Structure 1
């Protein structure tokens, strides 16, 4: 009997950490549905890269900060799953999409706070809820947090608070979905050099060097340092790992 192909849904999979996650998952034998916010061309490049690896991928547009669009997205996703894979389920849900917003606490506006909340917590919470009927039993949920939920760098009070909420939410997911054999874990990257962090690094000269000096492995992280961890959590080797926070920071601020 033919085994159903594993399919991963990766939000924010067109660039940075998400792109690397997609490629590692494909390398491990999964097909991928990746979402993008506005960079359709970059998403198409990732789809092509997956195809070169002998796997299938499609890209769908999604703004994870707009929960009102989730019903329409779910309908489109369901139709695409049926058309491309003749299934209505995904095996892995990777909640990766995010935005950056450096702001000291006294200067943080309600607009900035709400944008972070909508993308990093509310969107993750309700997209995961929408995906439950589509998520196969014995599947995986991987949520992205941050090293900033453990150590403190001024300017990220709102951002890190949302990620702290995600870590707690993930433990509840593990408990409530465990009866279906679904695991839920959090990956918490430390400082990573991507276009996500470039603005903050460029605006504060010396930050890269300082953070590298405070990291046990002596450098900043790269996207390649994260994708393999996500792929591991979606593998059979990680079937007994759930409700865990895995920090991938190279030993920042030990």
Structure 2
């Protein structure tokens, strides 16, 4: 059985990705930050469909915890799947915080940087020795990093970190190719998640406006993105690497 690690899988895109990956017969180690209940719900959803999942706590913004997390992953692989390696890594955990450039504090900048860019960089570094040759990495980026129209004020830091992740994706693909590890990114458009303090629930009036900007006429759902992540991780995408796939339903088309 193939094994995947999906960070930030207690809700939203990470939850959708974990469930979609498990549906393809892959075991899942999923991580959560503060939302343990959401992680248990993800695990239960996978198990109801006959899959196997283990939920582990992880703060992607605290690189000092990564060595211990790696050791925990190694133990879970042995105890649950009788394996010493895993196959797929989905760097998905993150959050959004908006502020205009003139109002952005260094604290806000550094927090976004730690979670969205530094975290995936050094978590991948730590986990790489446990990753099987011929595996795959998928990084969750954002269409905000590549947009040339319809820019939303307030996302300068968030989008800049996701842009850095796009560059990192290409360098990972280059450096890990000797081990036949493929690395790609997905860039979701407007997606119904709990991002930005559950903004879609708190401000439902924004949904019609976002849907109107999208060629396919609705906002995205977590499983829309999760299905693409699962496909990029799988052997169906065995000849795809160093790509950033926009999954937005035609945002601002």
- Shorter-chain TM-score bucket reads over 0.9
Offset of residue 199 of structure 1: 4.4
The equivalent residue for 2:188 is 189
Distance 1:203 1:53 in 2: 31
Distance 2:207 2:23 in 1: 30
For residue 90 of structure 2, the aligned residue among 80, 91, 94 is 94
Distance 2:202 2:223 in 1: 24
Distance 1:56 1:211 in 2: 36
Distance 2:157 2:202 in 1: 19
Aligned residue runs from structure 1 range 60-75, under 5 A:
60-75=56-71
Q: Is the 8 A contact 2:141 2:165 kept in 1?
A: yes
Offset of residue 203 of structure 1: 7.0
The equivalent residue for 2:234 is 235
Q: Is the 8 A contact 2:135 2:182 kept in 1?
A: yes
Q: Is the 8 A contact 1:102 1:200 kept in 2?
A: no
Is it true that 1:130 corresponds to 2:119 in the alignment? no
The worse-fitting range, judged by mean Cα deviation, of 39-48 and 13-22 is: 39-48
Q: What's the C-alpha RMSD, in Å, of the aligned pairs? A: 1.4
The equivalent residue for 1:158 is 157
Aligned residue runs from structure 1 range 35-46, under 5 A:
35-46=31-42
Distance 1:130 1:222 in 2: 31
What's the TM-score, normalizing by structure 2? Answer: 0.95
Structure 2 unmatched runs, 5+: none
For residue 14 of structure 1, the aligned residue among 10, 17, 27 is 10
Distance 2:17 2:167 in 1: 23
Offset of residue 143 of structure 1: 0.2
Secondary structure of 2:129's aligned partner: coil
Structure 1 residues 46 and 206: CA distance shift in structure 2, 3 A: closer
Structure 1 unmatched runs, 5+: none
The equivalent residue for 2:217 is 218
Aligned residues: 250
Distance 2:201 2:8 in 1: 23
